Amino acid sequence: MRFGLTDSQRKLTGNLQIAGSAGLLAGLIFPVVGLLAAVGFTAMMLVAFIVRLKIKDSVVQSLPSVIFMLINAWLSIAFYNLL
């Protein structure tokens, strides 16, 4: 409840994370799927960072979402270059 999400939002987030992980793995064979998954994760981490700011977390607490956003942005570029 710390992030202010409902049960359905938490379940949706978890399911999207599982689907995104599968998409990144599938991207090793189908780069377009990896691209979509990486872009989705980048967007998800941007929203996570905004939520962290909204609940007034410290920079240290917010940093993982920024790091994962940057990693997924890099993956997006890498998958795009494979197309």
Contact 33, 23 (CB under 8 A): yes
Q: Is residue 5 scored above 90 in pLDDT? A: no
The CA distance from 79 to 83, in Å, is 7
The CA distance from 20 to 38, in Å, is 7
Q: Which residue has the tokens 């989705």?
A: 40
Find the mean pLDDT for residues 42-52: 94
Contact 20, 37 (CB under 8 A): yes
pLDDT given at position 3 = 79
Q: pTM to 2 decimals? A: 0.89
pLDDT band at 1 (very low <50, low <70, confident <90, very high): low
Lookup: tokens for 82: 């494979």
What percent of the chain shows pLDDT beyond 90? 92
